[in-house]
Structure 1
Amino acid sequence: YRRLVRDIIYTHKKAKSEFNLPPLMRSRIVPSESEKAEALQSLHAASLQQATGHFVKARKLLEHAFILDPDNIDVLIALGEVIELSYYGRSVQQVALPSTKSLIPIYGQIVTDDADGLILTAEHLYTKALIVDPSVSKACLHRERLMPIVEEIDQRILNAIDFKVRQFYHIPESDPGLRRAKVEDYFKHVYHSML
């Protein structure tokens, strides 16, 4: 084990000396006026597509507008609304058994991660719009409407984590899989903590 630990430390030091560059900082790129104008055109085209019932095209146009101008409040709110509508469209199509007390439609027994991701993404976009301009009432209303659903998703995820922790505590100390995992974790710790 000592030789293995020395080899790991030597490899880590060698790799660290070869790549001794400072960490790259993400620079914030401000969109140009032409990008802002194209984002607004994409927003208007998306609203026309949405009015005619082409929701997939509208979502693609709004995603393009978001890439061009990620701080445009109208784009953030419109994209959040389209993502939220796609969540409700999926829930209407896939609901097998309605839940009596839940705010979220249940597909069989468990809500899919994709549906959770849609709601969380929409809530994130509304929050970002509020960060850009806290006085936007439309984003505030949408976010407040989604908060009970987001809290339920968070609670379900925390319950799943608690269940896994309880399962982990039931593993006996003499289990060979647990011993191997401890050794592997020890080597990862040594590898990442040594200079």
Structure 2
Amino acid sequence: MQAVHDNHGEKIDNPSNGVSIVGYLRPAFIEEESYLRSLFGAECSADGYSSNWREEYNREPRPASGTNGLIDGDKSKSDINDTESSIDSTIYKLEMMSIELFSVYGKQFMIDPQDFQDAEPDLLSNHASDIIKRVKENSDQCTMALRSLCSRKKGLTVEDASLIGVDSLGIDVRAFSGLEARTVRFSFNAQALSERSAEKKIKRMLFPRYRKTVKASAEDEC
């Protein structure tokens, strides 16, 4: 029973891409380090943790018991300096030599590290999950439409199909036939520049009548 645990089924139904990076570590340059430390500080603040450890020492010192309210100022400064030196750290940067992509399509691709560094996020990278959720609101209808799409566009006879990915250039569908599972790609006729545009393109793919209805409505408005 362990082999058919829910977690394993989830990974089969919704596989993810994998990346293998080969490179070496080197200490960050001064200009890189200041930038990276600012990122670390922002991440800590966003998580609700204070990255400014000096706050603990900037507070007004409290009198210690048995000292008549007197604190040795030189000793306090010495403690601060000792603490600063003890938590000093070095930031390292990974210099990538080669990148290999293990795709959901069952293929392996070599990626040029320079192309990877110059790449920018897809226009819909932050909205894909919301688009998928809205498209799959009527799950049964969506499944039937995806099965029909696989048959029309790819000539595949599938028993089940699920929308697992959306980007500005197309959609990824997980299709099942017997014991076989595969990821099928369907490209848009043009790049989607917004969430609304992507949803319209998906609906036109899945429901051909929707395209005719939209076209008829536009003609009526004219």
Q: Give the TM-score normalised by the residue count of structure 2.
A: 0.21
- Structure scoring higher RCO (CA < 8 A, sep ≥ 6) equals 1
Higher helix content, 1 or 2: 1
| Largest Rg, 1 or 2 | 2
Q: Give the TM-score normalised by the residue count of structure 1.
A: 0.23
Higher strand content, 1 or 2: 2
